[in-house]
Amino acid sequence: MNTMKYQRNTQGGFSIAEVMLAIGVVAFGLVAVLGVLPAGLTVQKDNREETIIRYDAQYWMTVLRAGMQPTDALHQVEWVELQVDDGAGHGCLSRSPPAVGR
């Protein structure tokens, strides 16, 4: 009897289908992560603005409670200047700084 023994290939490796599947999974993950980044940046910006507003409010409440600055000083306007350009160079409104000792 003529029997041939087939020797199995002992070298391991991935098939093309397995490689393509792995690349697809990685690509899907990257697209998902990159899709979430803009939303995360927007939320971070909003949180930073809210924190600044909160610290400003906390500062002014502390100042007012401690009596460090009268409330009249908060509404005092020292300088206002509005300029409207109508093409002819007209339309400027300005208010001088308050006089000393007023």
Say if 100 falls within a structural domain.
no
| Within-domain flag for 3 | no
Q: How far is CA 19 from CA 5, 9, 22, 52, in A?
A: 31, 20, 5, 49
Predicted local distance difference test score (pLDDT) of residue 86: 59
Give 62's Cβ-side CA count (13 Å radius): 6
Residue 7 within any structural domain of the chain? no
pLDDT band at 29 (very low <50, low <70, confident <90, very high): very high
pLDDT digits (tens, 9 = 90+) for 35-92: 998 888 899 998 998 898 888 888 888 887 887 765 566 666 566 565 556 565 555 4
Instruction: Determine, yes or no, domain membership for 34.
Output: yes
Count of domains in the chain?
Answer: 1
pTM across the whole model: 0.38
**pLDDT for 22:** 96
The pLDDT of residue 23 is above 60:
yes
How far is residue 97's CA from residue 76's CA, in Å, rounded to a whole number? Answer: 10
Domain that holds residue 21: 16-95
Residue 10: phi, psi to the nearest 5? Answer: -95, -5
Residue 83 lies in a domain: yes
